[in-house]
Amino acid sequence: MTKEDFLFHLQGASFVALRFAERYVKDKLVTDFKYNLILTVAGNIDGSNKFDIYPEENDIIKLDLTEIEVVDLLYRNNKIPIWIDISVLKSSRKSTTFNLLCSGKYSNDKNDYYYNQNGSGPFGVKGPKFPINYKEGKKFKL
């Protein structure tokens, strides 16, 4: 995957996650996007050297990033995380912020990307965090 393709997938996943969240939240979600990046390292790391792994980055969190900053941080040696869960976290008048929870395994093989079969590469769209007493069909504030 090229850096440009990765940016394209990030942008597409962001719009899909925004539309998905709009089904559940009362907040107005705007299309100026910010990202919180949560880096993880896989607990079950095989010794095959199939993936690039950065154990020093376990539990690193980067806040309020632009899409270009996300791409620059995650695109390494022509490889990207094999899965990235994206979800709407919060909204303001100026921006919508997403959480990006990222695998610690990096690959350049699209067959390794968890969500590639649906065309989103490594991105899996997840719902916003639901309140404890959530009732089906009732919208809530983020």
Average pLDDT over every residue of 35-47: 77
Half-sphere exposure for 42 (CA within 13 Å, toward CB): 15
Reported pTM: 0.92
Average the pLDDT over each of 35-49, 59-73, 82-96, 117-131 and give the range with the smallest value. 35-49
Q: Which two tokens stand for residue 32?
A: 């100026």
Instruction: Say how far apart CA 75 and CA 107 lie, in whole Å.
Output: 10
Q: What is the CA radius of gyration of the chain?
A: 15
**Nearest CA to 90 among 9, 36, 19, 133?**
36
Q: Which pLDDT does position 58 carry in this prediction? A: 85
One-letter amino acid of 39: L
Q: Which two tokens stand for residue 139?
A: 């919208």
End-to-end CA distance of the chain: 34
The 10s digit of each residue's pLDDT in 56-103 is: 888 899 999 999 999 999 999 999 999 999 999 999 999 999 999 999
